[in-house]
Amino acid sequence: MAAVNGKDSDPVVPPSSLIRRVSSRSVRNSISEEKENCEGQVKGSFVSKYKKAPENLKSFHLTDAESELEVPGTPMTPRTSTTPGHENCTFHHDLELDHRPPTREALLPDMANSYRLLLTGLGEDPEREGLLKTPERAAKAMLFFTKGYDQSLEEVLNNAIFDEDTDEMVVVKDIEMFSMCEHHLVPFYGKVSIGYLPQGKILGLSKLARIVEIFSRRLQVQERLTKQIAIAVTQAVRPAGVAVVIEGVHMCMVMRGVQKINSKTVTSTMLGVFRDDPKTREEFLNLVHSK
């Protein structure tokens, strides 16, 4: 199989714990163990640690750069919970701020103060009744918009990777996406379509949408978001190929700046057979564009 971008590198092999079906408790325990085992390794170590090359691997290759899910400036706060009964929790699927790790919570006072300053800078009175709670609300909202920084691929997958004798295309399309433009800190939103060609392993369908959440709930540019989703799916199930198309509306182009309210930005990442074989790519695009 041709290497992506024509470069050879080690194929990425997910940890064996990702391709076993086990109880959620043991999943969480194994996640904690993995995290401990990973300590001291480079950022994005989940990826680096499991790069091995079994003889019979037919999957396409990711370059080292493509294997790095985390980009510079993308923080990953340590995750443990002090909530009674949840000491071993490292991840909550629908992370809300009333059930969060202390490291995230600790950011709130400083962020609220920043919003207070911002209000003052706008000439507003942060002490007037309508604005009294606004700094805290805004800080919580911003933490929610960026909750993807607290999520990692292995936690989100929760071992929902299943052995299945199929090599037919899987497409989940029109997944809603909300993200934040890293240039203006205003939202961009749209829909994501993901396709992959399995090679004996399939991914729980909801996990594709959850992968979108991990990477969209951060400060982003659409191009990077598209690529990170494709790489994450590759790492999860080592398919013969992955295709991701995102259609986005950028509020920085709508509400300000050039003010083009109807423009849409379409980005795609094609890996493996989707990149190499025009017919496979065409089949995916037809499925995505069909009603």
With respect to ligand GTP, which residue has the nearer C-beta, 107 or 252?
Answer: 252
Q: Is 229 in the site for ligand GTP (CB under 6 A)?
A: no
CB 115 within 8 A of CB 131: no
Q: Is 183 in the site for ligand GTP (CB under 6 A)?
A: yes
Q: Which SS3 state, helix, strand or coil, does residue 269 take?
A: strand
Cβ neighbours, 10 Å, residue 83: 13
With respect to ligand GTP, which residue has the nearer C-beta, 207 or 218?
Answer: 218
Q: Is 261 in the site for ligand GTP (CB under 6 A)?
A: no
Of 267, 56, 88, residue with least CA distance to 179: 267
Q: Catalytic residue at 92?
A: no
With respect to ligand GTP, which residue has the nearer C-beta, 131 or 252?
Answer: 252
Q: Catalytic residue at 222?
A: yes
Q: Which one of residues 111, 221, 249, 285 is an interface residue with ligand GTP (CB under 6 A)?
A: 221
Task: Please report how close the Cβ of residue 127 comes to ligand GTP at its closest, in angstroms.
Answer: 32
Q: Catalytic residue at 181?
A: yes
CA distance 162 to 205: 11
Q: Which one of residues 75, 78, 109, 257 is an interface residue with ligand GTP (CB under 6 A)?
A: 257
With respect to ligand GTP, which residue has the nearer C-beta, 116 or 250?
Answer: 250
Q: Catalytic residue at 89?
A: no
Residues shown for the chain = 291
Q: Which one of residues 23, 25, 258, 291 is an interface residue with ligand GTP (CB under 6 A)?
A: 258
Of 117, 229, 248, 105, residue with least CA distance to 172: 229
CA distance 84 to 103: 16
Q: Which two tokens stand for residue 137?
A: 């609300």
Q: What is the largest CA-CA distance in the chain?
A: 68
Binding site for ligand GTP (CB under 6 A): 181, 183, 221-223, 250, 252-253, 257-258
> Which are the catalytic amino acids?
181-184, 222, 250, 252
